[in-house]
Amino acid sequence: MSVQRITSGAPWEDKVGYRRAVRVGDQVFVAGTVSVGVDGKVHAPGDPGAQAARCLEIIADALKQAGAEPRHVVRTRMFVTDMSPATQAAVGKAHHDMFKDCPPASSMIGVSALADPAYLVEIEADAVISD
């Protein structure tokens, strides 16, 4: 079975030894994705909803490179540094906006910290290309 490794060009990929996504057969696994702008800086500091939306944009791009679409996503994991109702609602709305027509199994997990204190959200996704 062939393996396709998709890079986003993030400096961490080579430093840590991972890729943004890996496709094996009809499955695509997207690594934990934080809200990085095209300039390499934190996108939308202090705004968990905007950060979640940016994470999902990056994930959608990785899926596209792997020949998948958001509708193929079967599971997401959302890691947030603040489990307040406002943060849950903001992150949940971004997730809903991406997956409203094809909701995956999902978890939102509170964590004490991410790679940089400015990151409030990190999202992983698994997809199965079913057509």
Spatial distance between the Cα atoms of 12 and 18, rounded to a whole number of angstroms? 8
Confidence at 113, pLDDT banded by 50, 70, 90: very high
26-45, pLDDT tens digit by residue?
A: 999 999 999 999 888 999 99
How would you class 66 by CB atoms within 10 Å of its CB: exposed for 0-12, middle for 13-18, buried for 19 or more? Answer: buried
pLDDT in tens, 78-98: 999 999 999 999 999 999 999
Contact partners, residue 85, CB within 8 Å, separation at least 6: none
Q: Domains of the chain: which residue ranges?
A: 3-128
Per the CB < 8 A criterion, the answer to whether 75 and 126 are in contact is: yes
Top CATH class, 3-128: alpha beta
SS3 71: helix
pLDDT for 11 equals: 80
- Quote the pTM value: 0.96
Contact 127, 73 (CB under 8 A): yes
Read off the pLDDT of residues 46-70 as tens digits, 9 standing for 90 and up. Answer: 999 999 999 999 999 999 999 999 9
